Structure 1
Amino acid sequence: MATSDDIPTTQLLISSGNGPVARNVLQTPLRDAEPSEIPVIDVSGLFRPSLADRQAVAHQIRDAATNTGFFYIAQHGIPRPTTEAAHAACLDFFRQPAEVKQRASIDRSQRFNGYKPPATLRINPFESVDVRESFSWVYDPRYDPAVADVAQIPPEAAAHLCQEDFPWEATANLPQFKAAIVDYWRACLELARALVRAFALALDLDEHFFDSKVTYPDAVLAMNYYPPLPKPAGDDAVGRAQSEQEVSIGSHTDFQLFTILWQDDNGGLQVLTRQGQWINAKPIEGTLVVNIADYLQRITNDRYISTVHRAQNWSGRERVSMPFFVGFNWDESCGVLDNCVAEGEEKRYEEISCAEWVTRRAKAMYKADGFAEGKTAVPSS
């Protein structure tokens, strides 16, 4: 039987907060993930009064976070009609003429709100331009049910927050758009805070350890629209999928704590295992995908894995995904947690604020871009 040492590899470059990072990728055909690689976790226990129930879920999350860094969640509490309405709103928006979508251009936003048209995004400067369109909406405290009075937000936190009506004014021609997107964003935000507590339990901390750091979180909803890519011919099509090939979204890791992803049933999400093999994270009805991001890997001293992933939409149909990116408040910072440092180990990372880390990650794509023969890198929210 051949071992991984016998399989040819190619080198994949990705950008990071510490410059370009190289990964060796096995030249094997793309395969579906095994349940042990990307498990399905029933998270209904997180919403029960029993601490033991919540801890049982947290232990499963810990196992997944230290293995592939990806897992599905079932019984997550987001009603299907809420998700379906948001999906329909996405399609309504992206199927409009280009000039109508451009009214919502991100160029008009104070932050990262709004529309990004085709051929303007390259999440990985070493691969092709992303074949997608996107619409993002960043955290706005006016829509957070946990914020009783926006005027009472501490100045150090308020300085990083964006409150603008532009995204909704620019999409007012779609009467259901704002309501559907805000409802889904709120549902994701509630779930995200429950998962933050679960991650605290998974790290053997008090479940409210991080609560003060997610009062006004970096909670960004992105809606991605992927037209179909031509599927390469041949049995080794995916094994050959490297930087010269078209990607729906390029190989990357996420910036902050974790991401909650809804994907439609067309497939296309691919995850790079620790052994260097691309595997499919196929859609599973009724579930969401959660993946660990860089900041959580940092504060756990690499206990939890921020895994490289990408998408290639070879379904022959349009594909929609709705990632919800979760991070601490921008004014917060966190160093490596003491209980993630074993005896004889050292803390591998310095403490850094979330604002500085996200800024560093975004800038790193531009720096890496210079390393990649002048290609234009555009960070994705």
Structure 2
Amino acid sequence: MSLKTLPVLSLASDPAELSRDIGESFHTFGFAMVKDHGLDPALVQRAWDLTETFFALPDAEKRSYFIAGQGGARGYTPFKTEIAKGAKLHDLKEFWHVGRDLPADHPLAGASMPPNIWPERPEGFRETFEQLYAALDRVGATILSRIAVWLGLDAHWFDGPIADGNSVLRLLHYPPVPDAEEGAIRAGAHEDINLITLLLGAHEAGLQLLTKQGEWIDVAPPEGALVVNIGDMLQRLTNHALPSTTHRVRNPVGERAAHSRYSMPFFLHLRSDFRFETLPGCISADNPDRYPVSISADDYLQERLREIGLKK
């Protein structure tokens, strides 16, 4: 496997072959690219169109959907709110979160999984993103089943831990940056918090990952493919057998600096009440358990949200 080129894997390939290939790609890069995922191209295109239309609304209208104190869990988060852990300047982005709606009497419903809110316009926003959320949820579960097999687990091992999980679909807008403050970047170097992230490719370049050799390489999926990466929760669960890889979105240069960038990552999360216990198969004399103290997925999430400026 090339150390500078991510393989493009087919979700329609033989399950055993896919488990091997996706496990190797994740172990090497913390990233993979997948095609033949079954997402409806027409649905995806509607989602792109609605994302662009929403972020073109007046700032005051967008901010009317911002809920203070909620950590960006649902609705709108304004420009330059989020900051990468350890960074000095905020990211040059604004975003909208769609989460999982649970019945009011569900034991996991509450502060960390509040009801969705929906904008009055553009028309069709709710219907489109409810459908896309459900579709990405299914694809993510399929990928996790292949990861489970690579880890020596039953293919359905993750079914319970992600049932009613706190997953979030983020609609991202990076405005033009012709006059960006020195040192400011669209998305500073960071690792994701969740289990895995499924990313619908952006219309503008910029996504890069940091290899184990310390080199930044571009991540440019072919048309229709998804970028998938490991998050810190899966890194913790596997005792770093699967690494959460540092990545960033660099600023464009030249004429492209005058253009917006849009992307749609789906952050697949565990159930809020899931308790981390390192997988026994990932513990050895050479790799002792790094996390002997158990913590719930929600406690872990809240701690990380404070680190990136979304919660106080």
Cα shift readout 1:215-240 (whole Å, capped 9, x = no counterpart) = 111210111101233499xxxxxxxx
State whether structure 2 residue 106 is matched by structure 1 residue 164: no
Give runs of aligned pairs for residues 367-378 of structure 1, distance below 5 A. 377-378=309-310
Q: For the Cα contact (< 8 Å) 2:72–2:310, is it kept in 1?
A: no
> What corresponds to 1:337 in structure 2?
279
> What corresponds to 1:100 in structure 2?
61
Give aligned pairs, total.
Answer: 306
Question: Aligned pair in 2 of structure 1 residues 130, 307: CA closer, same or farther (>3 Å)?
Answer: same
Question: Aligned pair in 2 of structure 1 residues 82, 304: CA closer, same or farther (>3 Å)?
Answer: same
| Match for residue 197 of structure 1 among 145, 154, 160 | 145
Q: For the Cα contact (< 8 Å) 2:10–2:34, is it kept in 1?
A: yes
Q: For the Cα contact (< 8 Å) 2:71–2:310, is it kept in 1?
A: no
Per-residue deviation, 1:200: 0.8
| Match for residue 302 of structure 2 among 359, 369, 374 | 359
Give the alignment's Cα RMSD to 1 decimal: 2.4
In structure 1, give the amino acid aligned to 2:186. S
Per-residue deviation, 1:127: 4.0
> What corresponds to 1:134 in structure 2?
95
1-structure distance, mates of 2:87, 2:275: 30
1-structure distance, mates of 2:216, 2:4: 15
- Report % sequence identity: 29
The answer to which of 36-45 and 274-283 deviates more is: 36-45
Q: Secondary structure at the match of 1:334?
A: coil
| Match for residue 319 of structure 1 among 249, 261, 275 | 261
2-structure distance, mates of 1:256, 1:110: 15
Cα shift readout 1:98-143 (whole Å, capped 9, x = no counterpart) = 111112113286961111122222234424221111111222136x
Cα shift readout 1:321-344 (whole Å, capped 9, x = no counterpart) = 111001210101131111112345
Normalising by structure 2, report the TM-score. 0.90
1-structure distance, mates of 2:84, 2:90: 8
> What corresponds to 1:274 in structure 2?
212
Per-residue deviation, 1:320: 0.4
> What corresponds to 2:9 in structure 1?
41
> What corresponds to 1:88 in structure 2?
49
| Match for residue 264 of structure 1 among 184, 190, 202 | 202
1-structure distance, mates of 2:191, 2:112: 24
| Match for residue 349 of structure 1 among 271, 286, 291 | 291
1-structure distance, mates of 2:88, 2:73: 23
Q: Secondary structure at the match of 1:302?
A: coil
2-structure distance, mates of 1:110, 1:308: 22
| Match for residue 286 of structure 1 among 209, 224, 228 | 224
The answer to which of 269-278 and 346-355 deviates more is: 346-355
1-structure distance, mates of 2:167, 2:139: 11
State the structure with more CA Rg.
1
State whether structure 2 residue 156 is matched by structure 1 residue 208: yes
1-structure distance, mates of 2:86, 2:230: 22
1-structure distance, mates of 2:221, 2:153: 32
2-structure distance, mates of 1:136, 1:281: 23
Question: Aligned pair in 2 of structure 1 residues 364, 347: CA closer, same or farther (>3 Å)?
Answer: same
Q: For the Cα contact (< 8 Å) 1:271–1:278, is it kept in 2?
A: yes
Q: For the Cα contact (< 8 Å) 1:259–1:324, is it kept in 2?
A: yes
Q: Secondary structure at the match of 1:104?
A: coil
- What are structure 2's unaligned runs of at least 5 residues? none
Per-residue deviation, 1:256: 1.8
In structure 1, give the amino acid aligned to 2:149. L
Q: Secondary structure at the match of 1:328?
A: coil
Q: For the Cα contact (< 8 Å) 2:112–2:298, is it kept in 1?
A: no
- What are structure 1's unaligned runs of at least 5 residues? 1-33, 46-52, 143-149, 233-242, 366-376
In structure 2, give the amino acid aligned to 1:78. L
2-structure distance, mates of 1:125, 1:179: 38
Per-residue deviation, 1:87: 0.9
In structure 1, give the amino acid aligned to 2:215. Q
